[in-house]
Amino acid sequence: MRLDKFLKVSRLIKRRTVANEVSDMGRVFINGNPAKPAKQVKENDIIEIEYASRTLKVKVLKVPSNAVSVQEAPNLYSILEE
């Protein structure tokens, strides 16, 4: 699954266009490397998102094949650092 779509489906970022913009600005990293929106996300990848005042670091536990419910979204990742 594409990075921008995963960020939206997992609800780490609310909209896919915002996920695209943040990735294009170089504020999203996968396994320590800057990631573009089309980068494929796999299980056990570490995603870091740099917000204005903090950095969120999560580990991908599961990559869904399609959209998931609000209740299932937190089960897709575990927060390593906030």
Look up residue 73 and give its two tokens: 């979204």
H, E, C per residue of 13-75: CCCHHHHHHHHHCCCEEECCEECCCCCECCCCCEEEEECCCCEEEEEECCCCCCCCCCCCHHH
* Sole residue written with tokens 């094949």: 65
Task: Indicate the helix (H) or strand (E) that contains 81.
Answer: strand 77-81
CATH of domain 3-81: 3.10.290.10
Q: How many CB atoms lie within 10 A of CB 38?
A: 11
pLDDT tens for each residue of 30-49: 999 999 999 999 999 999 99
pLDDT tens for each residue of 10-35: 999 999 999 999 999 999 999 999 99
pTM for the complete prediction? 0.92
